[in-house]
A = this chain, B = another copy of it.
Amino acid sequence: MPSYTNTVFCKNCSKKLNIFQFLTDDETTYINEHRHEVRFNPGETIFKQGGELTHIACMTSGYGKVYIEGINKKNLVLNILRPTEMIGGPGLFNDYRHHYSVSAIDEVTACFIKVDAFIEVSKQNKEFTAELFKWINSKGVRNFEKLINLTQKQMPGRIADALLYLSMVVYESNHFVVNISRQDIADLAAMSKESAIRIIKEFKESKLITCEGNEFEILDVEALQKISQTG
């Protein structure tokens, strides 16, 4: 491992996902021997949709963007990644390909674990396997929600969802400065950039939020939640 990477061992890693807590020391060591840490610059591609799934990745620092490359160069942003999140699931045990692309938003470090090692450990450790299932299925359920949100709500509801997601899940504050573009917000809500800007403007005029450039503040969470539910 090159000296300029962070040489923390899995065993003592503070960025470890819950799922790895179910491993024995030996298994943790085994994972540790089959992983490497990589640093990405803003905008760089971490996973490429259609590419071979050789590693599962865990975010250790920075922000990432998970998106499906759809029709006519249009992207659909599935979620914004924070440290401790793991990516690469859908191809596992399946076709061993990436089904979405992931890119670095700012400077990102991520741990890459060889899928072979990942699967080997999963075969040994039933609790780990169960947690893996749980992880995959909870992602699947989130996609069900996304399916409903994006097909049955109109634009204000979808933007409300996006803003609540950014506030509550990604930046964990009512007041946040986004490091994603308006296009990304639009891709998160499955609409055109112009429409996203307009709805944000309406929310601003209705005093539901403030927004100066990339600085957002949610003023009325409940009103946004109501808009989200109404559609």
Contact = CB atoms under 8 A, between A and B. Distances in A.
B152 A76 contact: yes
A192 to B, nearest CB: 12
A76 B148 contact: yes
B76 A147 contact: yes
A4 interface: no
Contact of A143 (B95, B140, B231): B140
A152 to B, nearest CB: 5
Name the residue among A91, A130, A144 with the largest chain B CB count within 10 angstroms.
A144
A102 to B, nearest CB: 14
A61 to B, nearest CB: 27
Interface in A74-92: 74, 76, 89-92
Nearest to A230: B71
Interface in A123-162: 123, 126, 129-134, 136-141, 143-144, 146-148, 150-153
A20 B68 CA distance: 33
A97 B3 CA distance: 48
Interface in A85-119: 89-95, 99-100
A12 interface: no
A72 interface: yes
Contact of A93 (B72, B76, B90, B134): B134
A34 B145 CA distance: 32
Contacts of A2: none
Interface of A: 68, 70-72, 74, 76, 89-95, 99-100, 123, 126, 129-134, 136-141, 143-144, 146-148, 150-153, 190, 229, 231
Given A70-B152, A93-B137, 8 more contacts: A74-B152, A76-B152, A99-B140, A99-B141, A136-B136, A136-B140, A139-B140, A147-B147
